[in-house]
Every structure is written in structure tokens, then in C-alpha cells.
Structure 1
Amino acid sequence: MNDASRPDLQAALASSDLIHDRQVLETAIARMAVAIRNDFAGSVPLFVTVMHGGLPFAGQLALELGALGQDLEFEYLHATRYRGATTGSSTLTWKHRPATSLRGRRVLLVDDIVDEGHTLAAVRDWCREQGAAQIRIAALAVKRHDRCVPGLHADYFGVDVPDRYVYGYGMDFHEQGRALPAIYALRD
């Protein structure tokens, strides 16, 4: 999408509600880190960031875990159904798969949000096919509605968000606003 056809981020912010500010999000991430460290104590999990949206959250979560003494092995994947659109297609497109073997590993998938969960479910299933011994999901946000893929949930999550278009802290508004240090929701 070129700059001329891209919706204006400043106009979107003016038409949005602040849902969670940076302090709330950082406090939630610190709380999550304690639970994750307790569950993974004594092991070095494969910490897999789901790109692009999971990047800001994953970085902050990794630092919180490190401060608690939890070692991690880093990896990433990039799979999408959106390709810059606001609704996903039925086809998952892999842009990068982890190079590290998942066989027998404890895997922590780290993503920005669990919305309907189709992408995360496909990624989780791929991890199972690769022989991961355990797969847990950490998500900064969970959108509350009844449309999630059956059986998919975040094992660790920071905040709830409304069933609206949300962006910031990794989540995008037409490929913009991922670096906003808060979560916003467009007004209905």
C-alpha cells in the first residue's frame, strides 16, 4: 500500500479510544513473566516470536524473563493470513519458518493477540508436526468474543481487549502504528 492510499494513522487515533496505556501493558507483561518462569523453571524453552505483531511484546517479555533468571533460546517465524489487509484469508502464507529443530522441545509461541486464532492454530499445529514436546502460547492481548478456534487459547495473556479493531504495541492499523506504546480501539 503506498502512502497516498494508506489510511491516516493520526485520523484513526483521533477516532479511537485508549484501551490500555504503556504502564498497564508493562505491568501485565511483568506478571506474565513470573507465571512463565515458574512453568519453565529448570528448562530452556524455545521462545518463538510470531512476526511482525509479536515483536514489541516478545522483546519486553524476554527482558522480563531474563531479569527473573529464565534463560531462553530465541527463534522466530513469520506466517500470515492478512498480508496487510484487515481481514484474513483462508490460506496461511509462510514467510519464514524456524530453522531450529522443534523436536522434543518445550516451545513458547509469543504473539501480539489471540483474536479468532486461525493463524495461531495453524502455527501450533505445524509445531506439533515438527515434534515439539510441549507448546504454550503467550499473547499480550486476548479479544473477548465467542468466535475463537475451538481448543485454542493463550496459556498466558496480559490484557483483554474489546471486540473492536485494535492496534498499537505490535498490532497494526493498515501496517502502521505497531510501535505505539499503548493499545487503541477504533470507535464503532
Structure 2
Amino acid sequence: MSIADDVQKELMQVRREAIELHSSDQVQEAIAKLAFAVTEAYSGKVPVFVTIMNGGMIFAAELVKRLDFPLEMDYLHASRYLGETTGGDVEWLVTPNASLAGRHVLIVDDILDVGTTLLSIIRACEAQGAASVKTCVLVDKQHDRKAEPGLKADFTALEAADHYLFGMGMDYKGFWRNAPGIYAVKEGNE
């Protein structure tokens, strides 16, 4: 058996043993509800939505197709994980191309876990002179290890218990972002 076979075997086992926390239908319903709140907040403005790659791309795509107002889309790539299951220092891989000066910025990401990366991005947008900076996440992971006490996103679709999560953009060692629901990795597989 090759290394690739071992990796695929591990990935299939993780998916098979995972606990479904939110089904695909539940995720889609939560995103649809969130779209109403985002529309209310940004209708009449021309915001720039900055998606955090790679995790935020699936959620951002699902969200923006439900919005009926003009917006600009951009992205950035900053990570504490880089394919690992535990985070390190924030690394900036790609910065947004759009000028954020005077703009209403909505940062879109898959998950608010500790929040170190998100806070770093908020500060960077503010330093560029954004008129406002708000955050929008698919999942807020519930625990008491937030980078700042009481840290919350401005817009949150779902909450999840403190497990290692994958699906809908969240990954397990770089894989399973494509899983249609939100899953918790079985303890021992983390």
C-alpha cells in the first residue's frame, strides 16, 4: 500500500466516523436566514466582502448568491493552521486587491474558533481606513478560549460545540472542505 492509499484510508475513516452536527439542509436554512440580516445591514451601501481563503469560500459563495444588492468581492489568505489541526502564528499569504479606504467591509469566514486570525484581519482592514469592518461566520465554536473575552462575529449562521470540525469549507488536514454538512471529528482521530 502506498502513502497515498494510507492517507485516503485515514480520510475515509475520519469521514465515516464523524458526527454530523448540522445537516446540509440545516446549513442551507441557516445561511438563508443570515442573508436577510446581511441584506438589512448592507442594502443601500456598496460593500466589499473579503473572504478568508480557503475556508470561507464555500460559505461566501452560498451567502452572496442570496443577496440582491451590489457588492464587490475580494479575498485574502491568512492562516494559523496551514494544513495542521492546531494553530500557530498568523501568516499572511495573500492580501486583498481592493482598496478598503472609506469602504464598508464584511469579512467572511467559515469559523470563529479562537479568533486570533479574525482579529488580525479586522485590525488590518481598519489600518487601511475602512469606514466600517464587520465579521460574518458560518460557525461560532462554543468555548472559553476566545482571543478576547466575549468575542463574537457580527453575523453568525450556526453554533457548534467545541470539537474539531470539518465540512462547508472547514477542513480536516486540508481535506473534506467539500462535505455538505458540518461534522465533528471523532475523538482520537484529531
TM range (shorter): over 0.9
Q: CA deviation at 1:95?
A: 1.1
Rounded Cα–Cα distance in structure 2 between residues aligned with 1:23 and 1:30: 11
Q: Is the 8 A contact 1:138 1:156 kept in 2?
A: yes
Q: Is the 8 A contact 2:14 2:186 kept in 1?
A: no
Rounded Cα–Cα distance in structure 2 between residues aligned with 1:44 and 1:123: 20
Q: Which of the numbers 115, 124, 127 marks the counterpart of 1:126?
A: 124
1:168 corresponds in structure 2 to: 167
Rounded Cα–Cα distance in structure 1 between residues aligned with 2:171 and 2:90: 18
Q: Is the 8 A contact 2:167 2:179 kept in 1?
A: yes
Q: Which of the numbers 33, 36, 53 marks the counterpart of 2:35?
A: 33
SS of the equivalent of 1:184 reads strand
Q: CA deviation at 1:44?
A: 1.0
Q: Does 1:135 align with 2:133?
A: yes
Q: CA deviation at 1:99?
A: 1.1
Q: Is the 8 A contact 1:115 1:148 kept in 2?
A: yes
Q: Aligned runs of 1:74-85 on 2, under 5 Å?
A: 74-85=73-84
Q: Does 1:93 align with 2:91?
A: yes
Paired AA for residue 59 in structure 1: A
1:3 corresponds in structure 2 to: 4
Q: CA deviation at 1:4?
A: 5.6
What is the percent sequence identity of the aligned residues?
40
Paired AA for residue 93 in structure 1: E
Q: CA deviation at 1:152?
A: 3.3
Q: Which of the numbers 14, 19, 25 marks the counterpart of 2:21?
A: 19
